[in-house]
A and B are shown apart, each in its own frame.
Chain A
Amino acid sequence: MILNDTIAAFATSSASGAVAVLRLSGEKSLEILQTLTKKKDFEPRKATLINIYDDGTVLDKALALYFKAPNSYTGQDIVEISLHASPYIKTRVLQNCFKLGARQARAGEFTMRAYLNGKMDLAQAQGVADIIASKNKAAHKAAMNTLDGKLSEKLQEIKTDLMDLLAQVEVRLDDTDGEMQDLPKDYIEQILSKAQKHITKLTDTFSNGKFVKEGIKTAIIGVPNSGKSSLLNALLGFDRAIVSEQSGTTRDTLEAEISIDGFNLILTDTAGIREHALDAAEIEGMHRSHKAAAQADIIIFVRALEKTKLEEKLFKEMQQTGKKIIEVYNKADLFKGEEKKNAISCKTGQGLEDLKKEIIKTIGLADLNQDEVIITSALHYQALKKASEELNFALEKSTELDLMAAHLRWALESLKELIGIFTPDDVLDIIFSKFCVGK
């Protein structure tokens, strides 16, 4: 772990959903701001209106604040950029920061730096320690299961191939007896291009996916009193991510945005219709449900406790839209005996995490081919991009084994968030198991 490299993350405390505050801390903060804005002079502690560039064109008009070390929250150089909160703008700017040398901040990392630099008292620091500790367990568990099924398989395949190639290179660099034949060029090319193909496929799902650019429109549909609003609130309440609430196009529709694993979900709830418990209002409610469903990428259909004709009718109509539907049984705490898939309880929180996973899974299947794996985290996207770059260099240097080894090591190193930390011992394990290395 490094304590003075540059970290970046969206501050979670942005007051309104219209604005997202990107915070950078570390040596390169100012330099990154200067590159993003093509502007040299920034006076500390003074808000400046700036253009944010992306590939030479203006991406956003934003507000920037620069705090010079040590007079900042963390005690390091800090830059805060207030962007328009479009998922696309946010993603692009964050990716550009990564390209310019920043890395994704870990949980509690800004505050930790603040404490280490004497900017914070013990009680506050304890709060941060608790956050890091809980993240530590979760991340470790995730690493142990190495993410989810298919992604893990793909990554393991890439890792195994690259480690094998690296072992082939290393054993030649350490070949005292001069026994090893030259590594065939087509073998190198084959391994590298296979890995590149896998990586490109994965990164494409992230950077080109329309969901990443625009967010995923999710309609919460159900008959009155099925618990749509409480589901919405539960989803919002259980996620630490930026939450924005704003009135929708009609007075009675509520839109809210949450982030799950790097995806932005724009939830549309046809809330409010319950208040007018009249037939006419129900009809109006159905009408709105249809409209929301038509615009949605995905539908969460909330089932009520009792089956009704109205519900069946609504469900059939939803099916006719051809959209992916996730059926949810709310109020699981009131169910007795019966086991239901996607049974959740907004009251106890039961099933909510599984539902989130189900949403992500369904999205993956919705936009992409069946069985396709998708990348859902900016951190992972960054890692894969970096690895791909290194593999290009590795191919370029395939006749100079010491240089190729360096690039292969860097490629594996950059994938550590996805495939675990790579050490020289891992390669020696392969060498000793595959090659007869003598004295």
Chain B
Amino acid sequence: MFEYSEIFDVIVVGAGHAGCEAALAAAKMGAKTLLITQNLDTIAQMSCNPSIGGIAKGQIVKEIDALGGAMGKITDESAVHYHMLNTGKGEAVWSPRAQCDKKLYQFTYKKYLENAENLHIIQDEAMRVNVENGKICSLDTARDTRYKTKTLVITPGTFMKGKVHIGKVMLSGGRYNDMPSSLLSDSLREIGITIGRMKTGTPMRINGNTIDFSKFTPQPSDFPYTPMSLFNKPVKKDFLQCYIGRTTDETAEILQTHLKESALYSGNIHSIGPRYCPSIEDKAVKFPQNKHHPLFLEPEGLYTSEYYIQGFSTSLPEYVQYKLLKSVPGLENAQIVRPGYAIEYDYADPTCLNAWLEVKTISGLFFAGQINGTTGYEEAGGQGIMAGINAVLKARGQEPFILRRDEAYIGVLIDDLVTKGVNEPYRMFTSRAEYRIMLRQDNADLRLSKYAFKYGLFEKENEKYFNNYQIAVSEMAKKGETSLTQEDLGIWDFEKAKISAKIQKKYQGYLDRNIKDAKALADADKIVIPAGFDASKVKGILIESSQKLAKIKPATLGQASRIPGITPADLQLIALSIAKYRKAKNG
């Protein structure tokens, strides 16, 4: 065995959307970081849509950006189409989305990683996690190399024991034609992690030259558009169009006829799929009355004719996929270049995690992304940056960084994962957020950039501009004007301040109420349940509550209050017992 000489502060396993954010954040904070990926050529690959953002997801991208992450910037550098969704509704739910050139996205991200100081990238496969005295100590790889580390962030996406299904065809793979990671989840199981199976899927890609676009409604890019990253301005560039079409009665018939051949319904897939409908056969089964489902043709890039057909995700056999295409006006002669498929993979029950994504029972071990049962690049990226920051804080012996539910969708996401666990691939919806009106795409910086400065992810010298920006927004929201000018705001945009102020003013009454409610929640989150204290053993709490508390092991009274079924009286008893416990300890 080759033992690498250096001891890393942070090792990140996997270079997908979670891993890249984690590694970049850690390196930017000055931690000695190693990023391990099976394949350097698939860094930050978009395994599914060539698109970043969307409803609730666009808000997460803005949050990652406001925290000093890379997803927004890289999206802007590789975008070929922008669209602000939900503009017919209140600004609280406006959600930016961008189509990207997939390859450009990957190359740009790779360049960012290569240029980052303190970051070592290595192509290898993680196989075994080594723990000593409850602490992470090193990682062994497929080439029998041992890397010693203070902390480890695992972000394997769909790769752990990944299995691809196309009809009856079953292939091993973390993605179609990519090697799975076959031993890592066994190693995690050995150290006490509960491993389960999930499934997701992707539609077929077709050759654009075989599409009759005249049968579709074109959807051009917005211009001017709202960039994904804070400091970018809209620029004229090579935009590509998206197209909207619909399935037909014939599509519905084909689906009914061939349903049993789908891997989903043939019994080949046993894992949990989502209750929402990512696959077209799901739609046919669950909503037979809706016959005409929308389809979106999304270009995969500037230098390819490949198109992604959003809405046609499927695990039906390849020959049925051809039939399905034929049933759609404009796709009669479409050529499949990659078939759609479903994929099963191992995930880890996220209730094993603390609110800062560290495994409760193993000091220094962090999970982020699909391993935690989520789906989506944005959900992965949001967890990635949080895991990266927290791994560094852990390595330095500093207090963890937690985002509350009233601060960010990322806070909602992580709190949901660690408090309630998952019973289907978790994707974000705005309706998951109690404080939706506070969590807007226009104010991600106002909510979160203070942390980017605190943790060194934004340049200190820009903090004065940020402070002025906050003042400008607040003054304009209250009085309609400010004495501050663009010069005082530096890299922050005065026009953006005006927009944010206007939106804030519109929602003021609602925001005030939300802030009040959120404060109560934050107060309950300040009551920490001490490490040696077992809330499930408190006398007088309900038996059902006791079982839930034993599983989740909440870190604070606030977290306990968010476990479904815990009663106010349970909380009172726990609060009392904590006080008693503290008194007894302090003599």
| Chain A residue contacts of B583, Cβ below 8 A | 122
B533 at the interface (CB under 8 A from A): no
| Chain B residue contacts of A116, Cβ below 8 A | 575-576, 579
Q: Are A133 and B579 in contact (CB under 8 A)?
A: no
Could you say which of A1, A128, A173, A439 contacts B431, with CB atoms under 8 Å apart?
A173
A356 at the interface (CB under 8 A from B): no
Q: Are A112 and B576 in contact (CB under 8 A)?
A: yes
Report Cα–Cα, A421/B580, bound state, in Å.
Answer: 28
Could you say which of A1, A427, A438 contacts B311, with CB atoms under 8 Å apart?
A438
Q: Are B524 and A106 in contact (CB under 8 A)?
A: no
Q: Are A402 and B429 in contact (CB under 8 A)?
A: no
Report Cα–Cα, A175/B95, bound state, in Å.
Answer: 11
Report Cα–Cα, A21/B92, bound state, in Å.
Answer: 46
Report Cα–Cα, A135/B542, bound state, in Å.
Answer: 11
A4 at the interface (CB under 8 A from B): yes
What is the size category of the interface that chain B forms with chain A? 35 or more
Report Cα–Cα, A106/B576, bound state, in Å.
Answer: 14
Measured CB to CB, the closest approach of chain B to A104, in angstroms, equals 11
B85 at the interface (CB under 8 A from A): yes
Q: Are B520 and A5 in contact (CB under 8 A)?
A: yes
Q: Are A122 and B580 in contact (CB under 8 A)?
A: yes
Q: Are B570 and A136 in contact (CB under 8 A)?
A: yes
Main secondary structure of the interface of A (DSSP, over half): helix
Per-position contact with B for A415-439: 1 when CB-CB < 8 Å, else 0? 0000001011101100111001111
Report Cα–Cα, A85/B313, bound state, in Å.
Answer: 69
B90 at the interface (CB under 8 A from A): yes
| Chain B residue contacts of A136, Cβ below 8 A | 540-542, 567, 569-570, 573
Per-position contact with B for A380-410: 1 when CB-CB < 8 Å, else 0? 0000000000000000000011110110011
Residue among A3, A107, A170 having the largest count of chain B Cβ atoms under 10 Å: A3
**Residue of chain B at shortest CB distance from A137:** B542
In this complex, how many residues of chain A approach chain B with their Cβ under 8 Å: the count is 55
- Of residues 84 to 103 in B, which have CB atoms within 8 Å of A's CB atoms? 85-86, 89-90, 92-93
Q: Are A129 and B540 in contact (CB under 8 A)?
A: yes
Q: Are B561 and A439 in contact (CB under 8 A)?
A: no
| Chain B residue contacts of A437, Cβ below 8 A | 276-277
| Chain A residue contacts of B576, Cβ below 8 A | 112, 115-116, 125, 128-129, 132
| Chain B residue contacts of A306, Cβ below 8 A | none
Report Cα–Cα, A109/B92, bound state, in Å.
Answer: 38
B223 at the interface (CB under 8 A from A): no
Segment with Cβ contacts to A, from B173-181, B282-290, B321-329: B282-290
Measured CB to CB, the closest approach of chain A to B468, in angstroms, equals 29
Contacts A122-B580, A436-B293, A437-B277 given: A133-B539 contact, CB under 8 Å?
yes
Q: How many A-B contacts if CB must be within 8 Å?
A: 154
Could you say which of B310, B564, B575 contacts A439, with CB atoms under 8 Å apart?
B310
| Chain A residue contacts of B397, Cβ below 8 A | none
Contacts A1-B571, A106-B569, A115-B576 given: A439-B313 contact, CB under 8 Å?
yes
**Residue of chain A at shortest CB distance from B564:** A423
B54 at the interface (CB under 8 A from A): yes
Report Cα–Cα, A104/B539, bound state, in Å.
Answer: 24
| Chain A residue contacts of B120, Cβ below 8 A | none
Per-position contact with A for B571-587: 1 when CB-CB < 8 Å, else 0? 11101110110010000
| Chain A residue contacts of B437, Cβ below 8 A | 402-403, 406
Q: Are B431 and A115 in contact (CB under 8 A)?
A: no
A174 at the interface (CB under 8 A from B): yes
30 contacts between A and B (CB under 8 A): A3-B527, A106-B568, A106-B572, A122-B580, A128-B576, A129-B577, A133-B540, A134-B540, A136-B567, A136-B570, A170-B431, A172-B89, A173-B436, A177-B311, A179-B294, A401-B90, A401-B93, A402-B92, A402-B93, A402-B437, A406-B436, A410-B513, A428-B432, A432-B275, A432-B276, A436-B277, A436-B286, A436-B290, A438-B293, A439-B313
List residues of chain B with CB under 8 Å of any chain A CB.
Answer: 49, 54-56, 85-86, 89-90, 92-93, 275-278, 283, 286-287, 290, 293-294, 296, 310-311, 313, 420, 429-434, 436-437, 510, 513, 520, 523-524, 527, 539-542, 557, 561, 564, 567-573, 575-577, 579-580, 583
The 6 closest A-B pairs by CB, nearest first: A133-B540, A136-B569, A402-B90, A432-B275, A170-B431, A1-B571
